[in-house]
Structure 1
């Protein structure tokens, strides 16, 4: 169950704040639940109920992981900031007509259940046994999906990797793509957009205070939970196991100089100051195979717009899929309906290497057998209907390295761009803190 909840990254919004109200003389005093505003984000409010629920959820998560809880006031402020950033993103999604319909939500929840090898009814039973209502869980997953789609639209779809960048990456990192994996934890002390020299100096002083705690032997996870401004602070700053090449460039370069258990000095980036710990490392067999599996595929792309919703685009592809299943020619339908440049070739994308397409498309394509049609698949570019025609193994070591390097660089650039985008969004958001006034 703990693994289930960690996969869905709960962000629940309910809690308790009790107050005893006086009843008429002679009657018993009964506690009832009340609420109050702890912050205003643009034109919306964050309530004590939301904050209390987030604190309760984070407390349970830290206790499961064996991480010592930070002081109550520190945890409260961290999670309030997390809620502020979440609200700002959800407002932007809503203001730009981004929606998650119930059908898409139901499919996502069914997928979560399937990944945990249970059905939806059992998922519901386990959640409710763990104190999470089904309504809260659906709201949480809808929120995660909205933020994910917002990121796809605002950041991921704009990330491009050039051949020159791939050449530079491979030339500068002769041991790249070794397969070595790092377990890394970090602390982020965030800098505001356009920070003044005084703010930078204050940030350095704060970083030195954090380093003093770490040098004295204080547990890194506890310090991260108490001081880090990163969303993963409540996980003790852990980034989980990642291939070294898929870490942010600043982290990858710093971590390769460390032995397990060692900590970097403060590292400066546009986001602020980072302190990194290499917890462990493993692997490092390199690109063992000379054989690369390539896929030849076709697709039909339907782009969404202000006049064509996700639900309508998906429904259109379901209709086309049924026509293909009944004998219609996929290529002819692609020529007549696809919004991609490949439409002129009947949707033919040619031979694709791993990393040539966006992750959502590639995952769906890889799940298909030759001759099989996908269900409608959403990516940052719209909705796709995919048909795999054939697969082959090619002796393309250099191509494989370049494809892997492209995927690594795309992921790095997307992560860094998203972090910068969130920081700018946060700095442009009006926030009225009311927690300290209570």
Structure 2
């Protein structure tokens, strides 16, 4: 099958974008008191930019309940991150890496959709959090550019062999990789620093009101995106998949008494009142997935083949199949998916979610042997037929995929460190702050 029909997996951009764009915030609030803190090749970093990033980073640490590093050390780390980001953006510009407005708009729309809010609501959330929307757009643009740069310079050169996966699996120390995991959603109603008893009481009332709304059936992701002060608020409060040992300690005593979908009681910490929900559970011992075996015929559109022509051609092919013509033979003679056409349009067994969403939704609504109406995806127009469905134990494939990711992450981190060191060595950097 043509790999184009596999779902294009979003790179951890959507859930990671908000925190990443904060880390490389490029807000130049120049004032008469502003000064240069670093020269980076032909560019400069201003003190206002450094101070802005320091405030953001400290706020994130507090929300995550982590201890703040020594002031001078932390300031140096933040400045070094800004310098490295600037060097990478300069390299991307020299390489001609750009982001189209359509791509940028689509990415921001996806971020809002992940938070389950409309674009207008998303803009309002940004405004309430003190972020200018146009600055946010530029941060996202820069993050897309950096992602493309790293992919071109690093990720595309990383290779993982089946032998490496086999060796990893044969290592007894790999067993903890396959422990059961839990996915938590989180809301934080934060307390001000040195909160008074009255402020604690009022904040608790607010948190109880939020919890009551959740218990009444409110959408956790939407509520988190609207009211949570946590660093993951804009991703709907999603804390991601975690093993038991990686769960924040303030939550560990509550989780054993919770079931899938449960909303916790209020959990108080120095940073505020927390509410958690068990969003998903993953048992690594057995992973049963729904699979569908299907076939299709594709007609691609271009300057000569219009949507109307493609749709009508497929409608006529469907009529011929219903009247007795062989689907496989018609696929071989008419489908523009050359990889599947030679197999009569067969796509093989596909796990739910593996195909692009329009294709998957169409298959989900078909009964066995039913032929769809013509439908459109990003690849063109299709008709599809479901041949079989089954529940499949995908544990082994899941294990190998997880190991592949672990090995890939290790290689990527090592390659990134070497690359960053090389970039810094080749750049002209001059520090202008005495205390860093």
Q: Give the TM-score category using the shorter length.
A: 0.5 to 0.7
* Alignment of structure 1 residues 95-134 onto 2, 5 Å: 95-134=94-133
CA distance in 1, matches of 2:153, 2:433: 34
- SS at structure 1 position matched to 2:44: strand
Greater length-normalized contact order (CA 8 Å, ≥ 6 residues apart): 2
- On the 8 A contact 1:298/1:388 being kept in 2, the answer is yes
Aligned pairs for 1:24-423 within 5 A: 32-172=31-171, 175=175, 178-181=178-181, 242=241, 285-289=283-287, 292-294=290-292, 296=294, 322=307, 326-327=311-312, 335=336, 342=339, 345=342, 350-351=347-348, 364=357, 368-370=361-363, 376=378, 389=384, 392-394=388-390, 396-397=392-393, 400-423=394-417
Contact 1:41 1:432 in 2 (8 A): yes
Contact 1:55 1:79 in 2 (8 A): yes
Report if aligned partners of 1:13, 1:49 keep a CA contact under 8 Å in 2. no
* Structure 1 unaligned spans of 5+: 18-31, 184-233, 245-251, 262-281, 303-315, 377-383
Q: 1:318 and 1:368 mapped to 2: Cα distance?
A: 28
Matched position secondary structure for 2:39:
strand
- Give CA-to-partner distance per residue, 1:232-260, whole Å, 9 cap, x none: xx99xxx965456xxxxxxx9xx89xxx8
Corresponding residue of 1:433: 430
Q: CA separation in 1, counterparts of 2:137 and 2:355?
A: 27
Describe the shift of the 1:4–1:291 C-alpha distance in structure 2 as closer, same or farther (beyond 3 A). closer
Scaled by the length of structure 2, the TM-score of the pair is 0.55
Asked if the contact 2:297/2:335 (under 8 Å) is kept, the reply is yes
- Mapped to 2, the partners of 1:82 and 1:41 lie a distance apart of 12
Question: For the Cα contact (< 8 Å) 2:17–2:143, is it kept in 1?
Answer: no
CA distance in 2 between counterparts of 1:298 and 1:160 reads 32
Compute the TM-score of the two structures, normalised by the length of structure 1. Answer: 0.55
Counterpart-to-counterpart distance in 2, 1:364 and 1:373: 12
Deviates more, 1:320-329 or 1:105-114: 320-329
| TM superposition shift of 1:426 | 1.8
Distance 1:165 1:63, change over 3 A: closer
Compared with structure 1, are the counterparts of its residues 176 and 64 closer, same or farther at alpha carbon in structure 2 (3 Å cutoff)? closer
CA contact (8 A) 1:15 1:53 kept: no
Quick one: structure 1 residues 129 and 110, their matched pair in 2 at CA, closer, same or farther if it must change by over 3 Å?
same
Alignment partner, residue 12 of structure 1: 25
The CA RMSD over aligned residues, in Å, is 4.8
Aligned length: 309
Q: Is the 8 A contact 1:98 1:150 kept in 2?
A: yes
Deviations 1:270-307 (A, max 9, x none): xxxxxxxxxxxx9773343555525657799x9xxxxx
Bigger Rg, which one = 2
